[in-house]
Structure 1
Amino acid sequence: MSRPNVIFVLLDTVRADRVSSLGYDRETTPNFDRFAEETTLFTDAVAQAPWSVPSHASLFTGLYPEEHGATITSPILTGEQTLAELLSADGYETYAVSPNDYVRPATGFARGFDSYEMGSVSEPAVTADLLARPVNWFLDAAWARRPIESVFNRIQDTATVTTDPPPPADRGLLDVAANRVETATDPFFLFVNLFDAHLPRSPDPEYAEQFVDADLTDEPIVEHERTHTLGSHTMDDRALRRFRQLYDADVRTTDEQFGRLIDILRESGVFEDSLVIAVSDHGEQLGEYGLVGHQFSVFDGAVSVPLAINFPEGGPDRVDEQVEIRRIFHTILDETDTTCHPEKSLASGRGDRFARGAYYSPMLDIEALLRTGTVRYDRDLLGERLSFVRTGETKVISFDGTEWLFETPEHGQPPITDAPVPELSEQLPITDAAGSSEVCPDSLVD
């Protein structure tokens, strides 16, 4: 059998409990739902970080944030071999189409791609090599980081309350993806990031009308997460209702783009024999714990994500055990016979007893923020981990020596205790580096 093409679709910022096939009572994702019915649906997928850079890095390397190091204090990915590099070295053409400004050539994500198209001004992949050392060093220095945070917060807090959402993102990137599908030579790897569910709220007007109550259309909302969480503007209950409904409309907008992309794959004859992955990199807080967006959080709203995979040779219909999405890395390498990971591949249907990940603080005291809403900065907290360890029944969240225990899923519920729970948090899974696998036997390669 010939080696499959790989189409990796990233549904940026879509949280699991807003997906209709995962139990949501509004039809936000009809296209994803149809895809999931025909493929393998993972009902409890967990991201390793709550924002783009570390989560994409885990997807592209198979590593946890503490291993690949691309976090809020060192946001340029360096060192580890990425999916694109490994597939390119093994004979795949490699293409990326992504409008995400945080995941771009300058942050180290273009390595190994023959083409990385953003739909806006981009830069060569070598830019990351030039910037990585000074930028990562600078952002990991408390004396430099605090003024940057202050300016960034002030910018986001200026004129960011609106009654009119901005227009949706440019659709030209799907045309670029369609051209890549039509012109690429088999086997190829195509990564596509669909960005519509990301802040600011910007759904297609059709879906805004469908999902937002008419009596809320003039209710002002904040455009940026830090405005609500750290700034001078907060949303009352009516504003939060509209914000959540606009998020549903954003998810529906993303789903419409996903449906168009799947149609492109089907019409070109690529879909059936390809490994097609649809997953989100992280979710979105919608007012739970006083948070909006996906910073300062490792709650399920920010790390529980949708995942479905079309395995060209067939896979399980449904996997209900929790799985870490970093295993997509191992799955792609195993399915393409690049390197063997039969037990780590999601095609095995095996769950993960533990799922874990982290958010690294920009010196903000996250415990004070979550407990009392107090915004307090401390130099000693720069890079402090807000980490989680999750089983199918419980979840431990830790920060600066404090631990909270939750039942899972924990969307918006208070912890059942804030006492230390070492019997769970000390039982971490053994990590594995990307290079620990073996090359697949020649007999498995066509």
Structure 2
Amino acid sequence: MDRPDVLFIILDSMRRDRVSTYGHHRATTPTLDALAERATVFDNAFAPAPWTLPSHCSFFTGLYPSEHGITNGFADRDLTLDEDIETVAQRLEQDGYRTAGFSNNPWVGKLSGLDRGFDEYVEWNLEISTEGDADLHTRREQLYSRGHKLVGHASRQPLFALKRPFFTDSLTERTKRWFETTSGDGRPTFTFMNLMEAHSPFFPPKEAFRKLGLKPPSAIEPRLLNTKLLAYVLGQRDMDPDERERVLQFCDAAIRYQDSKVAALFAMLKAQGRFDDTLIVVAADHGKTLGEFDRDETPPHYCRDINVNVPLWVKMPGQTDADRVDSPVNLVNLPALMAGETDVEQFTGDDDVALTEDYVPHTGRTSTDATRWRILSDTEFKYVRSDADDEYVLERSGAESESVVDADEEMLAEGRRRLEERTESLHEHEGSDQPGQRLDGDVEAQLRDLGYL
């Protein structure tokens, strides 16, 4: 078979329990539900980290955070992948693929070095950081790209408020132009897209509420709700039950709107006759706690399924039959699948555990000592251990009710053994001597609005 086109979509922060493919009572993902009818759906897919930056670096390199070294988002540290670490885009580019990336997240692009290997790359703020010969961008878009810093420095509110209707629509339209430009030229394509509708702040259009039978918001409600939500994310307040329920309604509506953008991409591929033979991978990089767990608890709430057990759909080229996989899978293995080094059976493998690494705290203006937690998950339990030798066993009893088990020494010893066996082959990153980079004003403002700083 000729090398297939590859479409890799990350739905940033999309919680598995809010997805109708996985049993959510609202029809949040009808497009992905339809994809599931001819794809493989994974019930126990685990992110390599519970937040964006290290997870994406793992998706692109096949390395765990401890191996690629991008573990935190501290502003005084180098946040860019080492040049000698190859990304999947670079591998595919060397294999003759035309490559394009469209990112809605400031962590994912030139800031982290994840734009390497792409012929075309559009950043979160619509800056054209890499431009090839595909002629994707209108004159107006090129002018905006050159002037985007002026917009960011003048007022961050337009970027905050327009992130949904303006940025997401533009990235989707350019991805469709990419499909148009590359259709029929004989070379395979690798297309990456990061969409952030499931990541707070939530600004779904009113129509998305109506499609789910929910009350549309007033003109001022989204700003008020998101301001309160950001304060919760930053640990400055709690959410009462009514607030939390409305936040989840906004989240569901945002996911439904996002699903319509995925539908537009699939429709174009089908119209071009490319859909059937394209390798399609759709996943989330992590989930998001929205009031379910104490944010100051130990072990950290980031260890819970709500943050690390993520949705995953894989449609292999030519696949027409649905499949469902219950065994644990590690999303760190996605680059090998997308590069054609494994098939879906090998990707699933015979592992009975999945590994996640978390370094707490995630971000900050100045460095502090971070504590590494490692989470080893099977279908029933998690073994969680810190580098300070704190250890716990969690029972996987549902995204909102996962509980700490009163584990005896035999159970803990088995967890230690399995974790050591799983990590003994990892090669720790030695650290970088490069100084930290200064964040641009608009990037820093956007990261603040997203709750990272």
Q: Provide TM-score, normalisation by structure 2.
A: 0.75
- Indicate whether 1:34 and 2:47 are aligned: no
2:443 corresponds to: none
Gaps of at least 5 residues in structure 1 are 126-158, 335-339, 365-376, 434-446
Shift of 1:209: 4.3
Across the aligned residues of Structure 1 and Structure 2, the Cα RMSD in angstroms comes to 3.3
Cα gap change, 1:330 to 1:122, in 2 (>3 Å): same
Partner residue of 2:121 out of 112, 116, 120: 116
SS at match of 1:330: helix
Cα gap change, 1:166 to 1:105, in 2 (>3 Å): closer
What letter is aligned with 1:415? Answer: V
- Indicate whether 1:406 and 2:394 are aligned: yes
- Give distance in 1, aligned partners of 2:257 and 2:217: 19
- Give distance in 2, aligned partners of 1:331 and 1:262: 20
| Equivalent residues in 2 for 1:205-354, closer than 5 Å | 205-211=206-212, 214=215, 221-223=225-227, 227-291=231-295, 297-314=302-319, 317-334=323-340, 340-341=341-342, 345-346=344-345, 349-354=348-353
What letter is aligned with 1:306? Answer: P
SS at match of 1:423: helix
- Indicate whether 1:12 and 2:18 are aligned: no
Shift of 1:404: 2.1
- Tell me the alpha carbon deviations over residues 377-435 of structure 1, each in whole angstroms, 9 at most, x when there is no partner: 9x9962211321111111022333322211124423231237772321331325468xx
- Give distance in 2, aligned partners of 1:280 and 1:303: 9
Cα gap change, 1:41 to 1:92, in 2 (>3 Å): same
Shift of 1:362: 2.8
Cα gap change, 1:208 to 1:253, in 2 (>3 Å): same
Shift of 1:235: 1.6
Q: State the number of aligned residues.
A: 377
Q: Is the 8 A contact 2:209 2:216 kept in 1?
A: no
- Indicate whether 1:177 and 2:178 are aligned: no
- Give distance in 1, aligned partners of 2:10 and 2:111: 19
1:133 corresponds to: none
SS at match of 1:105: coil
Cα gap change, 1:224 to 1:264, in 2 (>3 Å): farther
Structure showing greater relative contact order (alpha-carbon pairs closer than 8 Å, 6 or more residues apart): 2
Q: Is the 8 A contact 1:12 1:195 kept in 2?
A: yes
- Give distance in 1, aligned partners of 2:163 and 2:173: 22
Q: Is the 8 A contact 1:82 1:111 kept in 2?
A: yes
Q: Is the 8 A contact 1:221 1:240 kept in 2?
A: no
Cα gap change, 1:271 to 1:361, in 2 (>3 Å): same
- Indicate whether 1:44 and 2:78 are aligned: no
- Give distance in 2, aligned partners of 1:432 and 1:51: 20
Deviates more, 1:274-283 or 1:68-77: 68-77
- Indicate whether 1:425 and 2:426 are aligned: no
- Indicate whether 1:188 and 2:189 are aligned: yes
- Give distance in 2, aligned partners of 1:114 and 1:166: 25
SS at match of 1:288: coil
Percent identity of equivalent pairs: 31
1:438 corresponds to: none
1:415 corresponds to: 404
- Tell me the alpha carbon deviations over residues 306-358 of structure 1, each in whole angstroms, 9 at most, x when there is no partner: 11111114387221212111111111122xxxxx346xx55554353111112
2:139 corresponds to: none
- Give distance in 1, aligned partners of 2:338 and 2:310: 19
Cα gap change, 1:167 to 1:104, in 2 (>3 Å): closer
1:88 corresponds to: 93
- Give distance in 2, aligned partners of 1:351 and 1:254: 33
- Tell me the alpha carbon deviations over residues 52-84 of structure 1, each in whole angstroms, 9 at most, x when there is no partner: 111111111111111111121553222311001
- Give distance in 1, aligned partners of 2:253 and 2:119: 34
SS at match of 1:328: helix
Gaps of at least 5 residues in structure 2 are 131-156, 428-453
- Indicate whether 1:386 and 2:373 are aligned: yes
- Give distance in 2, aligned partners of 1:273 and 1:26: 31
What letter is aligned with 1:305? Answer: V
Q: Is the 8 A contact 2:43 2:325 kept in 1?
A: yes
Cα gap change, 1:123 to 1:266, in 2 (>3 Å): closer
Shift of 1:97: 1.1
- Indicate whether 1:97 and 2:88 are aligned: no
SS at match of 1:427: helix
Shift of 1:226: 5.8
- Give distance in 1, aligned partners of 2:28 and 2:351: 28
- Give distance in 2, aligned partners of 1:38 and 1:232: 45
Cα gap change, 1:121 to 1:38, in 2 (>3 Å): closer
SS at match of 2:303: coil
